[in-house]
Amino acid sequence: MNGTIIRIISNLYTVEAEGKVYECRARGKFRLDELTPLVGDKVLIDPKENYILELQTRKNSLPRPNIANVDMALLITSTKEPNLDLNLLDKLLSVVIHNDIKPIICFTKIDLLNSKEKKEIKKLIKYYNKIGVICLTNQDLKKLTKVMANRIVVLAGQSGAGKSTLLNKLDKSLNLETNPISKALGRGVHTTRHVELFKYKNSLIADTPGFSALDLSDLTPENIRDAFLEFNVGCEFKSCMHKNEKECEVKNQVNSGKILASRYQNYLKFGEKYR
Burial 33-57 (b: 16+ CB within 10 A, else e): eeeebbbbbbbebeeeeebbeebee
Separation of alpha carbons 98 and 102, rounded Å = 10
* 209 Rama sector, left if φ>0, alpha if ψ -120 to 50, beta otherwise: beta
Q: 187, 184, 185, 163: which is closest to 85 by C-alpha?
A: 187
d(CA 54, CA 44): 5
Per-residue model confidence (pLDDT) at position 211: 44
Q: Is residue 180 reached through a cis peptide bond, with omega within 30 degrees of 0 on the bond before it?
A: no
**Fold assignment, 2-57:** OB fold (Dihydrolipoamide Acetyltransferase, E2P) (2.40.50)
Would you kindly state where each structural domain of the chain is located, as residue ranges? Answer: 2-57, 62-207, 221-274
Please state which CATH class domain 62-207 belongs to. alpha beta
pLDDT score at 193: 56
Looking at residue 31, what is its pLDDT? 86
Which CATH superfamily hosts domain 221-274?
Answer: Probable gtpase engc; domain 3 (1.10.40.50)
- For residue 192, which of 94, 56, 66 has the smallest C-alpha distance? 66
DSSP SS3 for 82: coil
The whole-angstrom separation of Cα 144 and Cα 137 is 9
Find all residues with CB under 8 Å of 76, minimum gap 6, and list them. 106, 108, 138, 155, 156, 157, 161, 162, 163, 166
| Helix 261-270 × helix 86-98 angle, to 10° | 70
pLDDT tens-place values along the chain, 275 residues long: 999 999 999 889 999 999 999 999 998 888 888 889 999 999 999 999 999 999 999 999 887 678 899 999 999 999 999 999 999 999 999 999 998 999 999 999 999 999 999 999 999 999 999 999 999 999 999 999 999 999 999 888 887 888 888 888 888 777 666 555 444 434 444 444 578 898 899 899 986 664 444 568 889 999 999 999 999 998 989 899 999 998 899 999 999 999 999 999 999 999 887 66
Rounded to the nearest 5 degrees, what angle is found at the Cα of 137, between the Cα atoms of 270 and 94?
A: 20
pLDDT on residue 160: 84
Report the pLDDT value the prediction gives residue 195, as an integer from 0 to 100: 80
